[in-house]
Amino acid sequence: MTPSSGPPGPSGPSGGSRGAVPPRPGNPGAPRTETTVDPRVEPVVDDAVLDEDIDALPEAPNDSVVDDLDDLLFTARRERDEYLDLSRRVQADFENYKKRMIRQQTDNLERAAEDLVTKVLPVLDAFDLARAHLGAGDDLSDEGKALVAGSTLLADTLNREGLERLGVAGEPFDPTTHEAVDHAPAASSAEGDEAAPAGPVVDEVLRAGYRWKGRVIRPAMVRVRG
């Protein structure tokens, strides 16, 4: 048995030596060397590759793009001003509409109240005739006192709401509040008496007139003297 020349090395998976270095291709006998980079040497930059990278960057906006942005901004501001003006006009129209509706509703309520008061005037005339027939004495019956109290209550209530009675004997005649249906001769004044009124006066009130909230709804029917 022939002894080996040296101790065997560790075996790899294929049975060969695990520490052996494979030969380099092309020159099996040349030793293996590693390439090192000298930091003092500047790297070489390919100008073509650098130009392609620069071309890929986004271009700065030119004058035409700036002009387009200015036009868009001007259009947006103009539309904003137009919509703002339209909104203000719509709001003003709505406020005028509300005022007009309130005024119309107020006029309708006042007209309805005036119509109601006008329908009540014959009732007041009936009370006036009844009181004139009963007189103002203290010898009234219970029914007469109740009638007088009811007529007074109704007249006072309407007066607080705005109904004003027109026509008083002796006051100057006013064609805007009086309706003359009869004429009495002027009374002769004795010497030394006070001078009679210059114009005609109301001699007697035949039917009372009424004014509702400053507006004459029925003139007083009177007999004029003078």
Q: Residues 220, 205: contact at Cβ < 8 Å?
A: yes
| Residue type at position 170 | G
How far apart are the C-alpha atoms of 153 and 182, rounded to whole Å? Answer: 32
What integer pLDDT is reported at residue 202 of this predicted model?
A: 92
Positive or negative torsion for Cα 94, 100, 103, 105: negative
Task: Report the residue count for the chain.
Answer: 226
Tens of pLDDT along the chain (226 residues) come to: 444 444 444 444 444 444 444 555 555 555 555 555 555 655 555 566 555 655 555 555 567 887 788 888 999 999 999 999 999 999 999 999 999 999 999 999 989 999 999 999 999 999 999 888 887 666 778 888 888 889 999 999 999 999 999 999 989 999 999 999 988 887 665 444 455 567 889 999 999 999 998 899 999 999 999 7
Domains of the chain: 162-186+197-226 (2.30.22.10)
Residue 170 DSSP label: T
> 207, 200, 202, 209: which is closest to 223 by C-alpha?
202
How far apart are the C-alpha atoms of 110 and 88, rounded to whole Å? Answer: 33
Residue 168 DSSP label: -
What integer pLDDT is reported at residue 144 of this predicted model?
A: 84
φ/ψ of 5, rounded to 5, equals: -75, -15
What integer pLDDT is reported at residue 29 of this predicted model?
A: 55
pTM assigned to the model: 0.56
